[in-house]
Structure 1
């Protein structure tokens, strides 16, 4: 379950497949400059490059933080 709810009546915060730049994979939220939203799960898996710290994931966002950043919240790592 996501830390932020997805509103079914708007498209502001949605679930996405993405590739995340994550040197350490212990975080559960990422600024938008580390997240590349992909068209599909397959596209995210194909773009994954663990040697360069790019990992496929399912995320929810973007959501504004209290500091004004746009964040994506990790739902699950997809992995190869």
Structure 2
């Protein structure tokens, strides 16, 4: 994906992570860090999702720093 820092197995930068993402519509591919809550397991992410509150479980890659200086996560897949 354009702009994404490739995963680095030796650091904590741009690792795939289980998360719950707050997003009004699920058509976006990147999210600011303040809209992403990271979880240790897929089950925890899925159980903390709440579609009625626009919080969806996903696998995200990040964090990366955008050209605007914000930390962002990229969508890998919705769970």
TM-score under structure 2 normalisation?
0.92
| Residue of structure 2 in register with 1:16 after alignment | 17
| Residue of structure 1 in register with 2:39 after alignment | 38
Q: Deviations over 1:7-62 (max 9, x none)?
A: 12222221100000011110000000000001110000000100010000000000
Written as runs of structure 1 = structure 2, the 5 A alignment for 1:61-72 is: 61-72=62-73
TM-score under structure 1 normalisation?
0.91
State the secondary structure of the residue aligned to 1:33: helix
1:67 deviates by: 0.4
Q: Structure 1: where are the runs of 5+ without partners?
A: none
Q: Which deviates the most, 19-28 or 8-17?
A: 8-17
Q: Structure 2: where are the runs of 5+ without partners?
A: none
Give the distance between the partners of 1:73 and 1:61, measured in 2 at CA: 6
Runs of 4+ that moved beyond 4 A: none
Q: Say what the alpha-carbon RMSD is for the aligned residues.
A: 1.5
